[in-house]
Amino acid sequence: MKTLKIAAAISAALALSAHAQDAQIDRKVTELMKQMTVTEKVGQLHQLSGRQFTGPTSSAYADKLADIRAGKVGSMLNVTGVADTREIQALALQSRLKIPLLFSLDVIHGYKTVFPVPLGEAASWDMDAIELSAHVAAKEAAAAGIHWTFAPMVDIARDPRWGRVMEGAGEDTYLGSQIATARVHGFQGKKLGATDSVMATAKHFAAYGAAIAGRDYNAVDMSEQQLYEVYLPPFKAAADAGAATFMNSFNTLNGVPATGNAFLQRDILKGAWKYKGFVVSDWGSVREMVPHGYAADLSDAAVKAINAGSDMDMEGYAYSQHLEAAVKAGKVKMPVLDEAVRRVLTKKFELGLFDDPYRYSDAAREKAVLGDASHRAAALDVAQKSIVLLKNEGKLLPLSRETKRIAVIGPLADSQRDLEGGWVVQGERAKVVSIVDGIRSHAGKAEISYAQACAPGCASSEGFADAVATAARSDVIVLAVGETWDMSGEAKSRTDITLPGQQEALFNALKATGKPIVVVMLAGRPLVFNTIADKADAIIYAWFPGSEGGNAVANVLFGDYNPSGKLPITFPRSVGQIPVSYAQYNTGRPVTDEKNVTYRSAYIDSVNTPRYAFGHGLSYTDFKYSGLALSSATMAGAQKVTLSFDLANSGKVEGTEIVQLYLRDMVSSVVRPVKELKGFQKVHLKPGQTQRVSFTIDRDTLSFFNRQLKWGAEAGEFKLMVGSASDDIRLESALQLTQ
Ligand code: BGC
């Protein structure tokens, strides 16, 4: 009791001191703003890119430096490393008020140590590993002068044609929200201002992932129901986790560009969610409101963006060129400008930059942190956890230790660049472990022969004969194919998501040898590969696994690591099925029998089911589910119900199962998806071991947004489903909500 009281007193004191600190920062910001001219205020909202660009820019570098000296720039992106950030910060300190710059960068999946691409990490369903990955990335970036990363991307993405599916957590709102929280915590640590953390950015607010036809930057048109139910929750989770900043997006949402969207930025984010951080535009998205047809010219764009709640203009030059005049003309009220400036300055104080503008730019720390060997271990751990075993016919995997000759073939087998994926900043390419090198160092006595067959992209089949000859002399073929690193990411939408070039022909040529084939697939998105899915003996999906990719793949191939990854996004059979998600709505004519689909909601040339469903992923062991029980079959008010069952490892090796809880609200005022993920757990079991697994179901679990967009649960029957994948439900039960 006494300890409880002490703990309560300590936490109250901490809350008070946090409150006191906020008030103190608030006073400092007020004092500073009193001294600022309108030009200097506008300067704080102007963000410029350094020497490396990630988008079109329009100002000479020398002009940028002059503007920094004049106090007309608040933040720089794409300036990295202690030496460069120091040099540029020194210019800002020559300005009249000596307000330090914020240095920002797209640290998306690692800084020097490259982690798997975010979609790959999402397949781990492992919040600790994901948080650690973001933390290591933050630590390295913060040691190299960076204060702020433009990550995590928390856009729900259900269209694999969109290249940016690679940067997010996939299609699911529940999983995506958990991952958003983990990533924000990982980047930011416990408190802003620690020099092993950076500010996070929840992007791209909002609904960017729903670009029509999967074409990047395209318009978005969706019901508010969908927006609230599917696309906003990961942003809310990021805000709740304390994300210091938000980035808006290139798309229009129901006719209004996100950058000029007061409904999103003022009503929802800063209004309903009471968000205290600041919003940065996406690259040039303020000026892009002109071609959108929403702003008449750059000046109009500046007015519309800031009034709608966009605080900082990234490489748009709309604020720097027009905001001051707009304020003088009364088109932007002083309190609107002041609010934006206050939000930005508050973060600079929280980071401690006014105490020491160079505190993130310490050469000794940069050297020590960037050389920290433990970071590679973290990268290996999450890369292994990200790998998904899609198929394992006849239990070909793990490869037997008795295997004598292994042929490693394929355009991506010896690639280092492709293993890194897109958005790599300072990755040490020469130290990336390629797949063939990983296999060589794990293969023991087996003889490894390698043939590339064709260069990445696989435009030519000239090398196929040599590869086939190499394969014919082996006992098993490991074929590494997929997309090249630059085929997914920003501006990398594809209408055809099959394997590029002649890779399928290569597979067929190798298959003709009669040797067993393990396919290792690398990609930043779900690909369509029906022939391989039908004919390969085993398939592992490794995404772009990062610096330790080859070791991770080899550990899985030889069974030193038992794969446990599960797909965070549906793999279609064809582009024609897109959009396809497990959380679909039933129709009045659902398919109940695939053999008889006439006048059903179906296709005449394809089944409805995807190639691999959301949540799918195999293991080298087997798991049995049994004994489902509910603590009560009915529920009322704020009551909670516990669902539990036995999970047993019935195979021969230890392994981890990601158990998934889905539910369906059977009848409601707005029809509900046939399945919605509501919980998951990673359970590690030894062979023969059984564990009782339980989930708590509360009112929130059963709630949804009704027609009035009010969150709540409606009385009636709910179907609860537990399984190994969204299409592999093992146990079911019904729960009645009585009031
Ligand atoms: C992307 C953002 C990125 C920004 C800065 C834009 O083109 O959409 O995600 O953070 O560039 O590099």
Residues 67, 84, 159, 282: which is the catalytic one? 282
- Which stretch of DSSP H or E encloses residue 642? strand 641-649
Cα–Cα–Cα angle for 95, 194, 349, rounded to 5 degrees: 35
When computed from its CA atoms, the radius of gyration of the chain, rounded to whole angstroms, is 27
Q: What's the mean pLDDT in 695-710?
A: 97
Answer whether 0.95 is exceeded by the pTM: yes
Any bridge partners for residue 612, and if so which? 571
Catalytic residue list contains 240: no
Strand order through the sheet with 245-248: 201-205, 245-248, 278-280
Host H or E run for residue 691: strand 690-697
The residue behind tokens 């590494």 is 480
> Exposed, middle or buried by CB within 10 Å (0-12, 13-18, 19+), for 15?
exposed
Domain covering 381-577 in this structure, CATH number: 3.40.50.1700
Helix axes 464-472, 503-511, angle to 10 degrees: 30
Residue ID of nearest Cα to ligand 1 atom 7:
283
CA dist 604 and 638 (Å) reads: 47
Q: State how far the Cα of 88 lies from the Cα of 100, in Å rounded to an integer.
A: 10
pLDDT score for 31:
98
User: Which tokens hold the place of 180?
Assistant: 């958003």
Tell me the mean pLDDT in the region 397-421. 97
Q: DSSP letter at 123?
A: T
Evaluate if residue 27 carries a pLDDT over 60: yes
Q: Measured in angstroms, how far is the CA atom of residue 588 from the centroid of ligand 1?
A: 42
Query: Residue 120 contacts by C-beta under 8 Å, 6 or more apart in sequence?
Result: 383, 386, 421, 542, 543, 544, 545
Composition of the chain by helix, strand, coil, percent to 5: 35, 20, 45
Supply 285's token pair.
């998205």
Domain ranges of the chain: 2-366, 381-577, 623-738
pLDDT of residue 116: 98
Query: Does ligand 1 come within 6 angstroms of the Cβ of 423?
Result: no
- CA nearest 162: which of 606, 574, 579, 610? 579
Share of the chain above pLDDT 90, in %: 94
Strand order in the sheet with 538-541: 388-392, 538-541, 517-522, 476-482, 405-409, 447-451
Whether a cis peptide bond, with omega within 30° of 0, leads into 204 is yes
Rounded to the nearest integer, the mean pLDDT of the chain is 96
| SS3 category, 22 | helix
Residue 248 tokens, joined: 């808006």
Q: In Å, what is the CA distance from 126 to each residue of 207, 373, 382?
A: 25, 22, 8
Common-topology check for domains 2-366 and 381-577: no
Other residues' Cβ atoms within 10 Å of the Cβ of residue 465 = 12
Give the pLDDT confidence score for residue 17 in this predicted structure: 80
Which of 68, 24, 364 lies closest to 195, judged by CA? 364
Tokens 């029809």 — which residue? 671
DSSP state of 125: T
Minimal-distance CA residue to ligand 1 atom 10:
150
- In this structure, the strands spanning 704-705 and 690-697 are unpaired
Quote the CA–CA distance of 119 and 600 in Å, as a whole number.
34
Q: What is the pLDDT of residues 348-405, one digit of tens each?
A: 999 999 999 999 999 999 999 998 999 999 999 999 999 999 999 999 999 999 999 9
CA nearest ligand 1 atom 6, residue: 283
SS3 call for 327? helix
pLDDT digits (tens, 9 = 90+) for 148-203: 999 999 999 999 999 999 999 999 999 999 999 999 999 999 889 999 999 999 99
Cα(424)–Cα(167) distance, integer angstroms: 12
- Amino acid at site 610: P
The tokens for 283 are 């690259």
**Atom 2 of ligand 1 has which residue's CA nearest to it?**
282
**Centroid of ligand 1 to alpha carbon of 309 (angstroms):** 19
What is the rounded distance in angstroms from the CA atom of residue 244 to the CA atom of residue 188?
Answer: 8
Work out the percent of the chain whose per-residue pLDDT is above 70: 97
DSSP 8-state secondary structure symbol assigned to residue 450: E
User: Is 155 touching ligand 1 by the criterion CB < 6 Å?
Assistant: no
The response to whether residue 282 sits with its C-beta less than 6 Å from ligand 1 reads yes
Q: Which helix (H) or strand (E) holds 658?
A: strand 655-665
Q: How far apart are CA 122 and CA 73, in angstroms?
A: 36
Supply φ then ψ for residue 634, to 5 degrees: -125, 160
Distances, alpha carbon 684 to alpha carbons 192, 455, 562, 623, 726, in Å: 34, 40, 11, 11, 20
pLDDT reported for residue 56: 64
pLDDT digits (tens, 9 = 90+) for 319-330: 999 999 999 999
Instruction: Provide the token pair at 532.
Output: 């391989």
Strand partners, 102: 75
Q: Does the CB atom of residue 457 touch ligand 1 within 6 A?
A: no
**How does DSSP assign 426-464, residue by residue?**
S--GGG---HHHHHHHH-TT-EEEEE--S-TT----TTH
Q: Is the CB of 490 under 6 A from ligand 1?
A: yes
CATH 1.10.3720.10 fits 2-366, yes or no: no
Measured from the Cα of 151, ligand 1's closest atom is 10
> Does the structure show a pLDDT above 90 at 433?
yes
| 676-685 and 690-697 strand pairing | unpaired
Query: What pLDDT was estimated at residue 9?
Result: 66
Condensed to tens digits (0 to 9), the pLDDT of residues 215-240 reads: 999 999 999 999 999 999 999 999 99
Q: What does each C-alpha distance from 57 to 284, 287, 320 come to in angstroms?
A: 8, 12, 14
Report domain 623-738's class.
Answer: mainly beta
Residue 117, pLDDT above cutoff 90: yes
Contact 283 CB / ligand 1 (< 6 Å): yes
